[in-house]
Structure 1
Amino acid sequence: MIDRRKFLALTAAGGGAVFLSGLYRQAGATASTDDDFYFVQLSDSHWGFSGPPNPDAANTLQKAVASVNALEVPPDFIVFTGDLTHTTDDPKERRRRMAEFKEIIAGINIKTIHFMPGEHDASLDNGAAFKEYFGATHYTFDHKGVHFIVLDNVSDPGARIGDEQLSWLKNDLDQQKPDARIVLFTHRPLFDLVPKWDWATRDGDKAIALLMPYSNVTVFYGHIHQEHHHQTGHINHHAAQSLIFPLPAPGSQEKRTPLPWNPAAPYQGIGFREVEAKKVEPQYQIVEFPVTKV
């Protein structure tokens, strides 16, 4: 169980704001499955990227690893929500970047790490290289009373989940109770955030429709390189910051060009998040953390 005082100390150290999500863990369940826990979400490391706007791109992922290892209370697990590597047309280079990414991530002092692809990892080869290095692109797991679903909306270059995977999702959800505690991880937003920026999933509405009958659902995603919170009905969607560079606010300009590096505040807009599940409180607590600068 996470000590509340330690969690508040982490919040103060990280300098991040606490966001309370609508997903909750019900009281009264058995302690063996419903102990308090938290996980860390990292996203969009784009290993292999170089050039503006991040002059320290060759070291940012390593600094993120050090920042996670410095957390006072180790998380139960870590999830990377896509774009582990930066896109390349060269299959050999793609695999080299994935191998280097795995080598760097091996330095994290947490045994359980879940991976999912972003379009930079998977759209050019339908996820073939990703599967070689990280396994399945969509899967489920359960942890202390919460059902986690990893959904792939990037391996299809048309930004679709696809009928086959939607059928798989339906079959999985059919096994859950209406009040089951469900967390879904994906890379792109399932809703139409800014379609002209590729910030959407063409058949994401079908996935949302499948999730709507369930009363306790939260979605965590990446792709847009910034903290963002949205609701479709009772379902909360939370985008994470990236580990390489921030992007502009949704629809705030014509193109989604990266925000410039600020030498006076290096790593501004770059970070990761904690998500804490409390068995007796009616919400998840989400805390944003910056990547350590040294």
Structure 2
Amino acid sequence: MIDRRSFLKLAALGGGAVFMSGLHASVQANTEADFYFVQLSDTHWGYSGDANPEAKNTLHKAIESVNALQHQPDFIIFTGDLTHTTDDPVERRRRMAEFKEIIGGLKVRNIRFIPGEHDASLDSGAAFNEYFGASSYSFDHKGVHFIALDNVSDAGARIGEKQLAWLQADLARQAKDAPIVLFTHRPLFDLVPKWDWATRDGAQAVSLLMPYTNVTVFYGHIHQEHHHMTGHIPHHAAKSLIFPLPAPGSQDKRTPLPWKPDAPFQGLGFREVDVDGKIASVTEFPVIKA
């Protein structure tokens, strides 16, 4: 687990760790409650192009890096775009089957998924549901309530009234100071709407979360580390495992950053999230550890 002293040392070295404002009050401070999980995002299995000529190897390298962690996480979650988009439903399923076979090499067996728009927007999540199960759900782990929200199966980039009603009912069963983690693919706030970096009814979801004092949101989609606050709620974006994208709004189009042969896999990575009973921290790792 990462403590405050370790964090300060890591931050001084440019390790990419940030302390989060949520998850601190209601988790009991004992060794049984301490745990961490790993978030991986935007693997885009099936992608082929100049943005990553090593596309067939990157996911395998990420799995090797996670398997090499000294202490294995309690669970792993993939936050969307498991596969790269295709109009062919047969090819879509083939990619999902290959992805599922590859991640079978992870040591951790407790693995969870949510879809990205590349997985689900063309068929309303049908293929994703076949291979990975429900696209929205909740579960509890060592005193923390986790919620997976689907904001991609709707082609209009909406969560939808039915799912918002489900979210409201799920939250109603939680105490106002309960530690809550929400996973989604797109950001719930308007980061860069013209780049599809937004959820059209995301403000409604945030409004439902606002009465709860210990909420943290993790998402993917934007292929880079990014941190944002809506009121007291922190939102943290994950790096991609295929190619990095430009800083929000920094250019006209969200074209992938060029591949650098002298610095392969630059900007790609995954994160650990530690919950130590007093405060939670998130640490970003490269795909290949130095």
Give the TM-score range, shorter chain: over 0.9
Task: Kindly provide the CA deviation profile for residues 193-219 of structure 1, in whole angstroms up to 9, marking residues without a partner as x.
Answer: 000000000000000000000000000
Question: Are the structure 2 counterparts of residues 3 and 230 from structure 1 closer, same or farther at C-alpha, using a change threshold of 3 Å?
Answer: closer
Q: Which runs of 4+ in 1 moved over 4 A?
A: none
In percent, how many aligned pairs have the same letter? 69
Cα distance, 1:24 vs structure 2: 2.6
Please point out which of 51, 74, 77 is paired with 2:75: 77
Between the aligned partners of 2:37 and 2:133, the Cα distance in structure 1 is 20
Between the aligned partners of 2:283 and 2:263, the Cα distance in structure 1 is 20
Residue equivalent to 2:24: 25
Residue equivalent to 2:143: 145
Residue equivalent to 1:274: 272
TM-score normalised by length of structure 1: 0.93
Residue equivalent to 1:97: 95
Residue 116, structure 1, aligned to residue 90, structure 2? no
2:25 and 2:214 in contact (8 A); partners too: no
Between the aligned partners of 1:250 and 1:112, the Cα distance in structure 2 is 33
Residue equivalent to 2:48: 50
1:229 and 1:239 in contact (8 A); partners too: yes
Between the aligned partners of 1:266 and 1:292, the Cα distance in structure 2 is 10
Task: Kindly provide the CA deviation profile for residues 133-152 of structure 1, in whole angstroms up to 9, marking residues without a partner as x.
Answer: 00000000101110000000
Residue 88, structure 1, aligned to residue 82, structure 2? no
AA matched with 1:160: R
Between the aligned partners of 1:25 and 1:285, the Cα distance in structure 2 is 10
Please point out which of 126, 130, 133 is paired with 1:132: 130
For these two proteins, the number of residue pairs brought into alignment is 288
Alignment of 1:185-204 (within 5 A): 185-204=183-202
Any idea what SS the aligned residue of 2:56 has? helix
Task: Kindly provide the CA deviation profile for residues 149-185 of structure 1, in whole angstroms up to 9, marking residues without a partner as x.
Answer: 0000000000000000000000001111000100000
1:15 and 1:290 in contact (8 A); partners too: no
2:40 and 2:79 in contact (8 A); partners too: yes
Any idea what SS the aligned residue of 1:48 has? coil
AA matched with 2:128: F
Cα distance, 1:17 vs structure 2: 1.9
AA matched with 1:204: G
Question: Are the structure 2 counterparts of residues 147 and 236 from structure 1 closer, same or farther at C-alpha, using a change threshold of 3 Å?
Answer: same
Question: Are the structure 2 counterparts of residues 182 and 147 from structure 1 closer, same or farther at C-alpha, using a change threshold of 3 Å?
Answer: same
Between the aligned partners of 1:287 and 1:212, the Cα distance in structure 2 is 25
AA matched with 2:62: A
Please point out which of 262, 265, 286 is paired with 1:290: 286
Between the aligned partners of 2:36 and 2:196, the Cα distance in structure 1 is 31
TM-score normalised by length of structure 2: 0.95
Between the aligned partners of 2:120 and 2:165, the Cα distance in structure 1 is 21
1:275 and 1:285 in contact (8 A); partners too: yes
Between the aligned partners of 1:86 and 1:141, the Cα distance in structure 2 is 28
Question: Are the structure 2 counterparts of residues 173 and 131 from structure 1 closer, same or farther at C-alpha, using a change threshold of 3 Å?
Answer: same
1:37 and 1:277 in contact (8 A); partners too: yes
Task: Kindly provide the CA deviation profile for residues 209-262 of structure 1, in whole angstroms up to 9, marking residues without a partner as x.
Answer: 000000000000000000000000000000000000000000000000000011
